[in-house]
């Protein structure tokens, strides 16, 4: 991914790529976290915190927007 305004390039690992693909269909952070927690057999609260932080960083760079 690239922030066109700053020219910065952002790479995602396999889990980040999975999150990005899931965002093809807009959904709440809670729904995204719950789905990923099920698929990765991980703690939903931790996933929600981690995804929230990543999405805020991405929003700061214009890569995603919240509705």
Span 5-59, pLDDT tens digits = 777 788 889 998 999 999 999 999 999 999 999 999 888 899 999 999 999 988 9
| Close Cβ partners of 61 (under 8 Å, ≥ 6 residues apart) | 3, 6, 8, 10
Query: Band of the pLDDT at 62, cuts 50, 70, 90?
Result: confident
The pLDDT of residue 64: 87
DSSP state of 64: -
pLDDT value of position 31: 94
pLDDT at 3 over 80: no
**pTM here?**
0.79
């Amino acid at each position: 991914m690239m922030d066109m305004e700053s020219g910065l390039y952002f790479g995602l690992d396999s889990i980040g790529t999975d999150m990005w693909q899931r965002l093809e269909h807009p959904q709440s952070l809670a729904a995204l976290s719950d789905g990923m927690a099920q698929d990765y057999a991980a703690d939903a609260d931790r996933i929600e915190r981690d995804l929230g932080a990543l999405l805020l960083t991405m929003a700061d760079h214009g890569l995603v927007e919240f509705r």
